[in-house]
Structure 1
Amino acid sequence: MENERTVLVVDDDAKLRSLLKDFLQGEHWQVRTAADGLEALAAVRAQRPSIIVLDLMMPKLDGIEVCRRVRQTSQVPIIMLTARDDEVDKLLGLEIGADDYLVKPFSLRELAARMKAILRRTEGMSGKFAGEGADQNPSADDSLQYGELRLNSRLHTAELQGRPLTLTPIEFSMLELFMRHPQQVFNRLQILDATHGFAFEGYERTIDAHIRNLRKKIEQDTHAPKYIQTVYGIGYRFGGGNSGGEHDV
């Protein structure tokens, strides 16, 4: 698949675009660039990148609006870049569908590591990167069911009451973690490690934003969730006191 290693870098800073392009090409990525939000949307439609690195502050359309519009038609992974260490900006980006964020200035190696970690959780990506064959026949270990939720990790599909769910890679990875370990309590750093491939203090609140997004997609009442329970002072667990997840806690 010719675009499986394609990244779209969107930033109005020409020097940063050039720096990121040179570095990521050295990491064996195909790199496309855009200088503003309108160029970014056109590039997403035309080039269908594997992942987007998206600046928050840009002319014409800012990163928040670009992310919002991309999420209307695509679940391509998005890493948001922000020049301000502002919790509101970061959480807003995550709330509308960004998978991760980095605050400028950032380490190029860290950016590359995060890109790879997110793509490892997209459909069949780890096997493709390793040169493995893609076996599309799901096994029992690939299929999970809890209450009215069904998930298949090999086919990267999730359903609620028989209806397909549209999940970002991080949301899918998070749901798979919970469904494989019902009743187990996970703190935020554990969820970060499982879903992002790394965990460190200061990014735990990103989990709260992803949890809110996931609840909107699977819970009938987000204020009285049936599936994803908050364990106050610790983190989250999946399901209540019964294995079928049919009753609120």
Structure 2
Amino acid sequence: MTTAHTPPGTTTGSATEARLLLVEDDEVIRNTVRMALERYGFTVYTAADGLTGLEVFREQRPDLLLLDVMLPELDGIGLCRRVRELSLAPILMLSARGDSLDVIAGLEAGADDYVVKPCESAVIVARIRSLLRRASFAPVGPDTGGGPATAPGAEAAQDIEPELLCFGDLTIDPRGMEVRRAGEPLALTPTELRMLLEFAASPGVVLERRTLLSRVWDHAWQGDTRVVDLHVQRLRAKIGAERIETVRGFGYKLRR
């Protein structure tokens, strides 16, 4: 286990209080990424294998995790699943190949986003900040584990009427950031919640995949859009498959 490192100098950006866990078995990559993240003001915990990473996560409860796919002891996919059993903290997967089935497996296991190695540190930081912003919109309680406090998230609901939104047995409280199905609360990850709020803001309107990428992930995707499809699949499993309709060749819409 590697202890947390604190930034050596002046911080950059507004997420200086965020604590990250980087699990990467390649020592050169691990140290390079760690030092780059420290320069942006993050506190970084590191681990070289999946089991140690899980131990560090349980002890430190970081705000966000960066997981390499190929790890000894417990691979990144397995670690992602174990973390998802404990927390809704954002997870960013690191993959050596953008077209790898590992990427799909990671997203299906509960990851929120992925980057392809090697990658410029500025790109990784942009993805981290995007995930942290999404996490700030979600309520943090005893079941959500890590993640920043939710006070800044109120503005996310201003584009949606503050009253409860009802779609059949699905009830959405945009101000309280709470979703219930048949009266039972749903545990949505920050990404799933933000995606659902985008659908709920425009019920019956088709949202293209790249529109969702821009609004939910805060960036324009230059490659495939599997990340959207897999998150829609996960969201459907929680709110009901019939709630989100696929419009072939265009995107998705929330049924009124």
Give me the TM-score of the superposition, normalised by structure 1: 0.84
C-alpha contact (below 8 Å) 2:208/2:251 kept by paired residues: yes
C-alpha contact (below 8 Å) 1:4/1:50 kept by paired residues: no
Q: CA deviation at 1:145?
A: 2.9
Q: How does 1:126-165 map to 2 (within 5 A)?
A: 140-141=161-162, 143-165=164-186
Q: How does 1:1-249 map to 2 (within 5 A)?
A: 5-124=18-137, 140-141=161-162, 143-219=164-240, 225-239=241-255, 243=256
Q: CA deviation at 1:19?
A: 1.2
Match of 1:246 in 2: none
Q: CA deviation at 1:29?
A: 0.8
Q: CA deviation at 1:118?
A: 1.2
Q: CA deviation at 1:43?
A: 1.0
Give the match's secondary structure for 2:74: coil
Provide the rounded CA distance (Å) in 1 between the counterparts of 2:175 and 2:120.
32
Question: Which letter does structure 1 place at the counterpart of 2:170?
Answer: L
Provide the rounded CA distance (Å) in 2 between the counterparts of 1:88 and 1:29.
30
Provide the rounded CA distance (Å) in 2 between the counterparts of 1:32 and 1:144.
40
Q: CA deviation at 1:39?
A: 0.8
Provide the rounded CA distance (Å) in 2 between the counterparts of 1:151 and 1:113.
29
Question: Which letter does structure 2 place at the counterpart of 1:146?
Answer: F
CA RMSD of aligned residues (A): 2.4
State the identity %. 40
My pick for the range that moved more, 100-109 or 197-206, is 197-206
Provide the rounded CA distance (Å) in 1 between the counterparts of 2:163 and 2:64.
25
Provide the rounded CA distance (Å) in 1 between the counterparts of 2:166 and 2:124.
34
Q: CA deviation at 1:4?
A: 5.3
C-alpha contact (below 8 Å) 1:123/1:155 kept by paired residues: no
Specify whether residues 14 and 153 from structure 1 end up closer, same or farther in structure 2 by C-alpha distance, changes over 3 A only.
farther
Consecutive aligned runs of 4 or more in structure 1 exceeding 6 Å deviation: 132-135
1:26-79 deviation line (CA, Å, top 9, x unaligned): 111111111100011111111011000000001000000000111111111000
Give the match's secondary structure for 1:190: helix
Give me the TM-score of the superposition, normalised by structure 2: 0.82
Q: CA deviation at 1:124?
A: 4.8
Give the match's secondary structure for 1:141: coil
Q: Which runs of 5+ in 1 are unaligned?
A: 220-224, 244-249
Q: CA deviation at 1:121?
A: 1.2
C-alpha contact (below 8 Å) 2:98/2:115 kept by paired residues: no
How many residues align structurally?
228
Provide the rounded CA distance (Å) in 2 between the counterparts of 1:151 and 1:60.
41
